[in-house]
Structure 1
């Protein structure tokens, strides 16, 4: 059973540390900035791939230092993402993250992670996170592709209309929820029919 609690983080209000700037580091920073372009990310790496440098070249909120990781790098960070292929080093950082009460993700090591970077489907303001509890990122990717194809592009227009409608509703929270539920009951059927 998947007991993970899904949350959506405002990465522009947090400070993330990414350790590693190779192929996996590039994948991680692309995911972070793809979902949150204003994320503040500090990157520490002994080796930096050309592709990584190229990707961050126009990203002013990404700070890259090519050097060895230090415990002091954790100061002021709320998240650490490890993109290294060094089990001993990962274990060491696991201990430091615990000591400093910072959430940690280690690429391809679910047992050492406090959180996972799941697959994400996004259509405008609609964002759906997909988790396999660390069991199969490949399956999550396939489900992402399926949902991406199923959800109509026009869903964002509908979300904007619903936001306007919600703002115009009168009454207490319970009355508003009842009105919104009644209004959206047939909405997804309509959107699905429009897509086909």
Structure 2
């Protein structure tokens, strides 16, 4: 049976250059997801037209640039990530080819076999983020799990994270000693869960 071999990472999109090709619903969805999680993301959107929703979305984000023109291979240069978000399969394939030739990571919307990475569903509680991936098999399941986690995780989790961060800063000793102490302190989270079962 096939297993999910993906390695999850969290990109600092304010330190990278992202290209999105497509100004319609798919482009709007991808840009919206990135901005929701990384409001200072540096994104260039190239398209021959832009939906009103996308134009409205980016108005308050000075690091997002809308460039109205047809895609060309030069658009890929200087970019760290490329997202092909058009309804044109042939154009999406061309974008994929140009990105691969430039050795730039690429995501082609709704085409898992042409993706170096996926934009998973994200659960957010303050500084905690949990990415959910179904290895491209079912974005709908990922969306439903996001809803479950979002509701199940307490809003007070941000306070816990802040207190643990302050404690971590005060701990003495080398890295391994700090990890042992933090593991000991947070073990109560796991023990309580097991004792309920």
Q: 1:111-150, aligned counterparts within 5 Å?
A: 111-150=113-152
**Number of the residue aligned with 2:57:** 55
Deviation at 1:190, TM superposition (A): 6.9
Gaps of 5+ in 2: none
Deviation at 1:52, TM superposition (A): 1.1
**Number of the residue aligned with 1:46:** 48
TM-score by structure 2 length? Answer: 0.94
Deviation at 1:187, TM superposition (A): 3.5
Matched, 1:16 2:51: no
In structure 2, the CA distance between the partners of 1:25 and 1:31, relative to structure 1 (3 Å rule), is same
Moved more, 122-131 or 53-62: 53-62
Distance of 1:92 and 1:74 partners within structure 2: 11
Q: 1:20-39, aligned counterparts within 5 Å?
A: 20-39=22-41
Give a deviation string over 1:32-90, Cα, whole Å, max 9, x none: 00000000000100121111111112221111111101111111100001110111111
Distance of 1:42 and 1:52 partners within structure 2: 12
**Number of the residue aligned with 2:104:** 102
TM-score by structure 1 length? Answer: 0.94
Number of aligned residues:
191
**Number of the residue aligned with 1:91:** 93
Stretches (4+) displaced over 3 A: 187-191
Say whether the 8 Å CA contact 2:84–2:96 is kept in structure 1.
Answer: no
What RMSD over aligned residues (CA atoms) do the two structures have, in Å? 1.3
